[in-house]
Amino acid sequence: MKSHTAELNKITEVNNKWGICGFVSVLAAMYDNDLGFKGIMNEIEKKNHYKTRIIAEMSSYLSMLEADNNKLLTEVRVFTSTFGDIYNIADNKTFIELTQQYARLVDKVLEARKRGEEISLDELHEFGIAMTPDSVQDYLYRMHNIKSNHVEDSKNIICGCYAKNDPNKKLKHWIYVNGQGKVFTWGKEYISLNEFEKNKGYSKLYGIKPIFK
C-alpha cells in the first residue's frame, strides 16, 4: 500500500498534464482531512479510475452550474480563457461540451490500455479548467457539502498563488498546504510554503480553509 504522502502526490500529479490545479487541491485537502473520502479515493485508485473520475466530476460540476443558471459558470470560463488561446472558449455550452468530450476521450484511452494497447494520456490535447476563489468554495460545498472560509492562515488551506514576476498579481495556481505547512502540487511535496515560493517563483494570494466535521 502506498504511503499517505504518496497518495496525496498521486492526486495532484494529474495537474502536470491538465490545468486543473483548483480541483485537485480541493481533493488533496479532502483526502488529508476526511477519512470517509480517503477510503472512497483509495478504492477508486485501486480500480485505476481516478483520472476518469476527476474529469467526470468536473464535467458534472459545470453542468450543475448551468442547470442553476449560476454566474460562476461564466466566471470560470472567462477566467480559463486568460490562460491562452487553447483555453479560449466562446460560450458556456461549448465549455461544458468540450469537457464532456474530453472525459469520454480519457475513458477510451484507459479502456484501450486495459486491452494492452500502447496509448498514453500524454497523447491527448491540453485541457484545463481554471477555478476562481468563489468557484473553489462553491465546488467544496456544492459537490461535497463542505463549507469554507477565506483566511490569512498558511496551514490547512487551499492556497491560491500568483507569479512573483507578475505586477498585477493575477491568480495563477492553486496548491494544498497541510497542517504541518507542507505543500502538495504537481505530484510533489515541498517542505514548506516558503520553500515552494522560493523555488517556484510564486507567492500566496488567497487562503481558503475548508471546515471539516
Each as own residue / partner, the long-range contacts of residues 190-196 (CB below 8 Å, 24 or more positions apart, any chain) are 193/154, 193/159
**Are 160 and 131 spatial neighbours (Cβ–Cβ below 8 Å)?**
no
Q: How many CA atoms lie within 13 A of 129 on its CB side?
A: 33
Task: Enumerate the β-bridge partners of residue 185.
Answer: 188
> For the segment 104-132, what is each residue's pLDDT rounded down to a tens digit?
887 777 777 678 776 666 666 678 899 99
Total number of domains in the chain: 1
Least confident of 9-18, 25-34, 83-92, 128-137: 83-92
**Are 34 and 11 spatial neighbours (Cβ–Cβ below 8 Å)?**
no
The pLDDT confidence band at residue 48, using thresholds 50, 70 and 90, is: confident
Domain hosting 60: range is 4-210
Sequence-distant (≥ 6) Cβ neighbours of residue 208 within 8 angstroms: 133, 136, 137, 140, 148, 149, 150, 151, 157, 158, 159, 160
> For the segment 7-24, what is each residue's pLDDT rounded down to a tens digit?
999 999 989 888 999 999
pLDDT at residue 121 in the model: 62
Sequence-distant (≥ 6) Cβ neighbours of residue 158 within 8 angstroms: 22, 25, 26, 29, 136, 148, 174, 175, 176, 177, 207, 208, 209, 210
